[in-house]
Chains A and B, each alone.
Chain A
Amino acid sequence: MHWLDWTVVAAYLGVLVFITVKARRTRHLEDFTVASRDMPRAMVFATLSATYIGPAYTLGIAGNAADRGYVWFLISMMVPLQTVLIGRWVAPKLREFSGCHSVGHVMGEIYGPAARWATGILSFLFNSFVVGLIARAFGEVVSTFTGIPAETVIIVGTLPVIFYAAWGGVKTVMLTDAIQFAALAVAIPSVILFSGYLFDFNALASRVPELHLSWHGGYSIPELAGLMITFFFGEILLPPYCVRALAAKDSRQAGSGFTAAGLYGFPWMFVVVTIGVIGRASLPEAAGDTVFLHTMQTFLPIGILGFVLAGIFGIIMSSQDSCLHSASVAFSIDLYQMARPQSSAETLLKYSQYAVGVIGVIAVVFALLVPGLVQALMIVYTMWAPTVVAPLVIGLLWRRAPKASGLAAMAAGALGAAVWEWGLENPYDVPSLVAGLAANQIAFWAVALSRPRQVNS
């Protein structure tokens, strides 16, 4: 890379440090966990968009689009579609839990302490794992451009994220997310502009196989349905997204922030898939997560390459910091506070900050062991969606949901998904997420219909 590109990247990182310092150190638990519940809808939109647009929805999707074409827009648009629906129906209900700090806390209010413990443990493990996964992506990106070993980058690159997440809590995370969103939103489409295909789709179409322009991309109907269902349900109400709803100023701003972030996802996914197809047309030998990076290197001029690399840094760091923060809150609020209910807010704040550091180290260890991005994300989906998502949504929409139903659903969902994935190895091409969700719902309604109703407070 040219020195001018490095200068642009350094300037970008300097802005992040400046924002972190100016955002001040957090001194209140509510500031650390839910940003004082004072975020306007524009901030909810920016921080949610920056968080869910991680490396998998950029590098991973572009790699798949290079392999199969525009069918990956059909698959990836499931994510913004569910975000719009959550914004319309669920996020405002979530914000009504104005005493809660985390998704585990909300589950505890609906289904009782056992559900809070279970959700807290899952949330802690899930977020720690994703932080590691993202650190791996960070290592691969920088290694591709510089030749520095990925392992070194993983260790060194995670340190600034640990610092600002511990220093300023979710307010600093959200403010840096907004900067990172601005960078990625402006930078990434410039790859299409400089490729020369922005106003000449016919030239692009003539250089890729016809299958890349079809709606199915060569997938069978069951395969395609499985991928769409997995992308639709996989990321619903992940802990960092729930925090954005809890941090909104009020229910309306939570809902409209989520809806706007979902609507933004449609053009975003189209841009990313198009970059993947451009990568296939220009670099037929490139494959997987590196297609996007090689396409950048091929087309972008000096200076702009640094700007887009800064955008990629933004994509990575904005997702990593949010998951790191959520993992620390899951530890302090859902686990430590449950074990020691008399803990003061100051103690919980202190343990949240310590947890950021410890989880960061655990994540680095994960990062050194995890293989491909989308494949790893699929394993993570298997853990989260079949357990927490359905009982949470039902509990938010139906306040009289019986407490025992939630616990039964979580246990059955985890067991169903695990047996389907690792015991039976996904028979009939049905993803374990679907089998887990089915087990979850059968158990939920079996218990709900067989027990006398218990009205929650």
Chain B
Amino acid sequence: MEGTATAAIEARGLVKRYGEREALRGVDFGVNPGEVLAVIGPNGAGKTTLLSILAGISKADEGDVHLPSGDVGWVPQQAALYRRLTVEENLLLFARLERHEDPHASVEEMLVLTGLGERRGEIVARLSGGNQQRVNIAIGLLSRPVVLLLDEPSVGLDPRQRARLWEFISGLAGGGATVIFSTHDIQEAERYGERLLVLADGEALFDGAPAGLREAVRREAPEAADQDFETAFVAFLHHRGH
């Protein structure tokens, strides 16, 4: 487990069971303030379960999580918003529920920040999937969280929107916010994740910088060491029996 004694988030021995199936098997990790952690792994690896526990949506059966004081923003994989309300009404509702001092000002700020100003009066159901995801992210950012959890945030976004999203997230991290995101896109994880946490079948197989994962591949699956990052990653999983 990497991270320091001053970690923004620290998790120890997380176990989560759904009936007979173990979704997480003793996962340990820590994330430093301002760090961007990418959680990667195949389907069913436990990525969403891990983020749900960190977000407080579900409880771990075993283990502890330490979170910093302040808001933890959460952007779920599927847009969690009201499709029959407008963009502005959605943001205003959550700003009011979060008891912002000036909800309208918070909404204006977020509309500018996410580039949704021109779409503010549109019913969300009529927006493209990408724009719905932007509203979903905007709601998660409303409280200006010290930790931001994003579950597959770039799904459904076109390349231009992805670039804007990552520019924005990088800006947040630069301002001291800790960001943890899950993704299927290995290239994206390598590019934007300062650290990678590789999960497979609920086990943490790797925790470190992208260059460290390359090193691990070179040691364990040398035939894939010079391949692209995704191929090297698949070879690593295969070598570990997944």
Do A and B come together as binding partners? no
Name B's A-contacting residues (CB within 8 A): none
